[in-house]
Amino acid sequence: MSELHKFLFDGLPVRGMIVRLTDAWQEILARRASNTATGAYPPAVVELLGEMTAAATLMQANIKFNGALILQIFGDGPVKVAVAESKPDLSLRATAKVMGELPADARLPDMVNVNNKGRCAITLDPKDKLPGTTPYQGVVPLFGDDGEKLGKLSDVLQHYMLQSEQLDTTLVLAADDKVAAGLLIQRLPVKGEGNLEGTADKEHDHDQANEDQIGRNEDYNRISILASSLTRDELLTLDVETILRRLFWEEKLLRFEPQAGMLGPHFACTCGRERVAQMIRGLGEQEAQSILAERGNIEVGCDFCGKQYRFDAVDAAQIFTPVGDRAPGSQVVQ
Ligand SMILES: [Zn+2]
């Protein structure tokens, strides 16, 4: 069962989280493998998309925000786009578009950053947004401060979190065809969290105080080094209790109730016939008619879950008929 564990380091300005996706991740891979149009993901893409899915879950769980967190990579190599989405109820879905062949040992730059033009976008899409509001989006390149291509997704995201939150963050990510897992360690803001109240330097504006702390907090640095010693193999094969004991046996952890089952990370897709109808409406009537003339019906498959939506000429006519003019009892939604 997929699970998320949150913890604090007692008395220290550091928190942590570990996610282990098993059934939820296998479901995503099984749906892709059974899609006859695409077939299964190549192993290197399994690793990339699994790491993204684990990271999206950690990032969602790490912020107070009522909406979807969408982690996207727009690649300039064989992987054109990869998307992982996590919602506040920890439901998740992911997909990637792959063009052409990939060696099994392809690394991040080989997949998405061949010409150093790939980029990573993090979008926060509020659940109850007012019409006209655009979701917040942060975009970071896939190279470091000196233009060097970053080899790991965790490097890209650590960079993003340092920039966007002014907080040191350590991420360890790993995925194979059974498990997608991640460990996040983050320095807490100087103000705002209960166990740190009163320790902040009152003379400082707290943003400045946070910035001054980057890279300087000894407790965080020690715990970060411990976290970084976790290997890919350990993260994929060991249970959460064993990992935490091995890494932090000298630290005092305050654990929260683990989130698992339907309260934990789980696969869910939010696609629906009405959304596909809207998309067809977006194509315009002329384009829709020309597809109908050519193929007899319009078929749209969901990239996330594989569900197929089919619209025949009558369904399509409904889409382009204003609601008031429709025959009594007719509807576009099934
Ligand atoms: Zn779907």
- Over residues 12-55, the pLDDT tens digits come to 999 999 999 999 999 999 999 999 888 999 999 999 999 999 99
pLDDT the model gives residue 202: 46
Answer yes or no: CATH 3.20.20.140 is held by domain 273-325. no
The domain at 3-267 falls in which architecture?
3-Layer(bab) Sandwich (3.55)
CA of 134 to the centre of ligand 1 (A): 23
Local structure of 299: helix, strand or coil:
strand
pLDDT the model gives residue 191: 60
Which of 317, 307, 315, 313 minimizes the C-alpha distance to 334?
315
Exposure string (b/e) for 5-16, b if CB count within 10 Å is 16 or more? Answer: bbbbbeebbbbb
Local structure of 235: helix, strand or coil:
helix
CA of 251 to the centre of ligand 1 (A): 43
pLDDT the model gives residue 201: 46
> From CA 322, how far away is CA 277, in angstroms rounded?
13
CA of 317 to the centre of ligand 1 (A): 24
Q: In what order do the strands lie in the sheet with 119-126?
A: 136-141, 119-126, 67-74, 79-86, 91-98, 266-267
CA of 281 to the centre of ligand 1 (A): 19
pLDDT the model gives residue 2: 97
Residue showing tokens 């025949």? 312
Residue showing tokens 């786009």? 81
Give the CA diameter of the chain: 72
CA of 305 to the centre of ligand 1 (A): 4
φ, ψ of residue 270 to 5 degrees: the values are: -105, 15
pLDDT the model gives residue 329: 56
> From CA 51, how far away is CA 154, in angstroms rounded?
8
Which residues have a Cβ under 8 Å from the Cβ of 46 and sit 6 or more positions away?
29, 175, 176, 177
**What residue ranges of the chain have pLDDT lower than 50?**
192-204, 333-334
pTM above 0.95, yes or no: no
Angle ∠(197,199,203) on CA atoms, nearest 5: 105
CA of 46 to the centre of ligand 1 (A): 19
Which of 166, 265, 244 minimizes the C-alpha distance to 206?
166
CA of 301 to the centre of ligand 1 (A): 8
E strands present in the chain: 3-9, 14-21, 67-74, 79-86, 91-98, 119-126, 136-141, 169-175, 180-187, 253-255, 259-260, 266-267, 298-301, 308-311
Which residues have a Cβ under 8 Å from the Cβ of 260 and sit 6 or more positions away?
1, 2, 3, 4
Instruction: Please list the residues that pair with 187 across neighbouring strands.
Output: 14
CA of 263 to the centre of ligand 1 (A): 21
Which residues have a Cβ under 8 Å from the Cβ of 301 and sit 6 or more positions away?
35, 37, 307, 308, 309
- Domain limits of the chain? 3-267, 273-325
